A and B are shown apart, each in its own frame.
Chain A
Amino acid sequence: MEPQMNQQLADLHQMWRIRILEETILQLRLAGDVVGSVHLENGQEAVAVGACRMLRRPDAVFSTYRGHGWALARGVPPEKILAELLYRQTGVNGGRGGSAHFSAPEYGFYGENSIVGAGAPIAVGAALAARFDGSGRVALTVFGDGAMNQGGVTEAMNLAAALDLPVVFVCENNKYSELTPINDMVRNPDLSARAHALGIPAVRLDGNDPAQVAAAVGLAITTAEHGRGPTFIEAFTRRITGHYIGDAQTYRPAGELEADEKDEPLARLRHLPGFDEAERRARAEIAAATERALAAPLTDPSTAREHLYV
């Protein structure tokens, strides 16, 4: 097989793993095994998969609450993610973080964040540390189109630019912040223009194509490694599920969801010979992980106050 084909199949498999993880979480949530607010990234898998395959060991990812797939793509075992959402001892944080706020630094996943945009300045700090710790780390932070309107994100971008810090800002533009379309919230729909204005090189690309995302992230890493500072990537994608579980999505114009479902990253690859096989492998892996996660003991409530201080 050609290397390109191999890569496409590898991406396909990774995207299937995320999709099935998310579908499994949805089922667990509907069954009441998982409780509370859960944000799925169905349809947006290509951004995480394309980006994470370019990252090296020391690199650090800072995601949003919509971060299960980013964690998985970074290498966190699905069992540990599921166990976290199920509040088991074997979860990445023993249930302290939960669906929207967990971290797994041993996999370069420095955490989800449930405050919109808050990961961006923290990623700048991780990049700042790299200047002094010799790690060669590049920090990647991902946030949504809506997060661009959070002042802290602009502050973070400018600070990274002013200090030439190795940060990759990835904006997953899925056109909505919760129930509100981006067009009602900005005058200039080109969000990358803000990066340009701050002197940050920026690209806009098809976020449903992992190859395009990977190429841009690869270039961003090279730029960072050469001391030329941050890059901004605006990746266009669509979530083909609600903002949260139970979101009736009445805000979508007629036909939009159907069109998005035709163009989502997995639907695009349906013609690939390895499509069904990739799905089958992913299903088997996640099913086994789910079984193990469910079988693990709940975290002991007597430990609830541990880890508050050293």
Chain B
Amino acid sequence: MSETAKLTYGGAINAALARCLDQMPETLLFGEDVALPGGVFGVTRGLRKAYGERVFDTPISETAMLGAAVGAAMMGRRPIVEIMWADFMLVAFDQIVNQAANVRYVSEGRLSAPMTIRTQQGNAPGACAQHSQNLEALLLHVPGIRVAMPVQAQDAYDITLSAVANDDPVVVIENRTLYAGAKAEVQIGGPVAPIGGHRLRRAGDDVTVVTWGAIISSVEAAVDSTGVSADVIEAVWLNPFDTEAVLASVRRTGRLLVVHEANLTGGFGAEVVARVVESGVSLRSAPRRVGALDSRIPAAVQLAQAVLPQTSTVAAALVEITG
């Protein structure tokens, strides 16, 4: 039964996890500091109390955590693992790329790994280079792994449910700057959507802007301040990516701008541009990308601002491409 609740982004994820634990007895929830402390960002607060030993704390052993998720998933459990920072997933990348991603394919579909990795990424003021990276492109290069990046509380709720219900490995990339933000009305208890799809955040005629992650607030601010008539497509799911929606929009606008916080080179923005160009759709101006300036991320706020995309950079790109 669908009803609404006023929830923060973190609260929406908490509500979705509670529902998963409630309605799917095969779910497990584990990670560092997630059970008794309720998570370093408080996202899993109360779940241990409510769901008992299916929610537990682990040592700082990402390889064992993710490997255990793969193994438990192969045996029919539905693990949900929190990797506190996306940067830490790198110490256990083998379990994601060589292990989880291969389970279904190489077993000819006899096995599957229905597991969800919740993590969060991106820069926040003062974060060091090992706590600031945007790593979605590494995952998107790996067939077999689904990837989503919700930004609004409703999407965080819906996507968490869809991810956990999905029978393949899914990485849901959250953003710590959003967890404790303003509360929003969130529909809870509705049907679980299949994975995939996009959200149209602004509708316009002169340019298609494709974006994902928390940087969307800069994109929206740039569109609003420049008054450019733009379709803003938020790719809440990056795998599967809604290529058709982007093509349909670009066919109408004839222009494409992609914005992400991740580094430009090898970023998924390059893939979006390639798909649009390869489709043969006729463009009125060259497609553009805005992203981090291929850099390590400095701790100093004033330096980080110089390498990460800002509202002003996005606004300038919008004006340029439509001018």
Q: A interface vs B, CB < 8 Å?
A: 34-37, 65, 87, 94-101, 113-118, 146-147, 149-152, 177-180, 184-186, 250-251, 298-299, 301-305, 308
Q: Which residues, 127 to 159 on B, are CB-close (under 8 Å) to A?
A: 127-131
With most chain A CB atoms within 10 A of its CB, the pick from B58, B59, B64, B124 is B59
In the complex, which range does the number of interface residues on chain B fall in? 35 or more
Assess A180 versus B306: contact at CB under 8 Å? Given A97-B299, A116-B60. Answer: no
Contact of B295 with A178 in the complex, beta carbons under 8 Å:
no
The 8 residue pairs across chains A and B that have the minimum distance between CB atoms: A36-B126, A98-B299, A95-B300, A149-B59, A87-B300, A179-B37, A304-B306, A101-B128
Distance (whole angstroms) from the CB of A98 to the closest CB of chain B: 2
With most chain A CB atoms within 10 A of its CB, the pick from B37, B299, B303 is B299
Nearest B residue (CB) for A150: B60
Contact of A100 with B131 in the complex, beta carbons under 8 Å:
yes
6 contacts between A and B (CB under 8 A): A35-B126, A36-B124, A96-B299, A177-B32, A179-B36, A305-B293
Complex: A5 Cα to B129 Cα, angstroms = 43
Query: Is B307's beta carbon under 8 Å from chain A?
Result: yes
State which of A101, A113, A185 has its C-beta within 8 Å of the C-beta of B59: A185
Contact of A87 with B36 in the complex, beta carbons under 8 Å:
no
Contact of A87 with B91 in the complex, beta carbons under 8 Å:
no
Contact of B307 with A100 in the complex, beta carbons under 8 Å:
no
Distance (whole angstroms) from the CB of A250 to the closest CB of chain B: 8
Using an 8 Å CB-CB cutoff, how does the interface string of B279-322 with A read, 1 for contact, 0 for none? 00000000000000111101111111111000000000000000
Query: Is B206's beta carbon under 8 Å from chain A?
Result: no
Q: What B residues does A298 contact at CB under 8 A?
A: 300, 302
Nearest A residue (CB) for B124: A36
Contact of B299 with A101 in the complex, beta carbons under 8 Å:
yes
Complex: A115 Cα to B93 Cα, angstroms = 14
Nearest A residue (CB) for B307: A304
Assess A185 versus B303: contact at CB under 8 Å? Given A97-B128, A178-B33, A251-B36. Answer: no
State which of A35, A114, A116, A146 has its C-beta within 8 Å of the C-beta of B301: A35
Q: What B residues does A151 contact at CB under 8 A?
A: 61, 63-64, 91
Nearest B residue (CB) for A38: B126
Q: B interface vs A, CB < 8 Å?
A: 32-33, 36-37, 40, 57-64, 87-88, 90-91, 124-131, 293-296, 298-307
Contact of A117 with B60 in the complex, beta carbons under 8 Å:
yes
State which of B33, B62, B295 has its C-beta within 8 Å of the C-beta of A179: B33
Contact of A147 with B60 in the complex, beta carbons under 8 Å:
yes
Complex: A183 Cα to B30 Cα, angstroms = 17
Contact of A301 with B60 in the complex, beta carbons under 8 Å:
no
Contact of A115 with B36 in the complex, beta carbons under 8 Å:
no
Complex: A37 Cα to B90 Cα, angstroms = 21
Contact of B57 with A180 in the complex, beta carbons under 8 Å:
yes
State which of B37, B125, B130, B298 has its C-beta within 8 Å of the C-beta of A113: B130
Q: What A residues does B299 contact at CB under 8 A?
A: 36, 87, 95-101
Distance (whole angstroms) from the CB of B214 to the closest CB of chain A: 16
With most chain A CB atoms within 10 A of its CB, the pick from B128, B294, B302 is B128
Known A146-B60, A184-B57, A305-B307; 15 more pairs at CB < 8 Å: A65-B128, A94-B300, A95-B298, A95-B302, A97-B129, A100-B299, A114-B128, A115-B130, A150-B61, A177-B59, A178-B37, A180-B57, A301-B306, A304-B307, A305-B293
Contact of B306 with A152 in the complex, beta carbons under 8 Å:
no
Nearest A residue (CB) for B56: A184
State which of B62, B87, B128 has its C-beta within 8 Å of the C-beta of A99: B128
Nearest A residue (CB) for B39: A179
Assess A304 versus B126: contact at CB under 8 Å? Given A117-B60, A149-B61, A180-B57. Answer: no
Nearest A residue (CB) for B59: A149
Q: What A residues does B58 contact at CB under 8 A?
A: 185
Q: What B residues does A87 contact at CB under 8 A?
A: 299-303
Distance (whole angstroms) from the CB of B76 to the closest CB of chain A: 27
Complex: A75 Cα to B52 Cα, angstroms = 49
Q: What A residues does B307 contact at CB under 8 A?
A: 304-305
Nearest B residue (CB) for A181: B36
Distance (whole angstroms) from the CB of B262 to the closest CB of chain A: 16
Nearest A residue (CB) for B298: A96
Q: What B residues does A302 contact at CB under 8 A?
A: 306
With most chain A CB atoms within 10 A of its CB, the pick from B61, B62, B87 is B61
Distance (whole angstroms) from the CB of A22 to the closest CB of chain B: 17
Q: What A residues does B301 contact at CB under 8 A?
A: 35, 87
With most chain A CB atoms within 10 A of its CB, the pick from B58, B131, B296 is B131
State which of A65, A96, A180, A186 has its C-beta within 8 Å of the C-beta of B33: A180
Q: What B residues does A180 contact at CB under 8 A?
A: 32-33, 36-37, 57
Contact of B127 with A299 in the complex, beta carbons under 8 Å:
no
Nearest B residue (CB) for A96: B298
Nearest A residue (CB) for B129: A101
State which of B90, B303, B305 has its C-beta within 8 Å of the C-beta of A96: B303
Assess A37 versus B131: contact at CB under 8 Å? Given A96-B299, A150-B91. Answer: yes
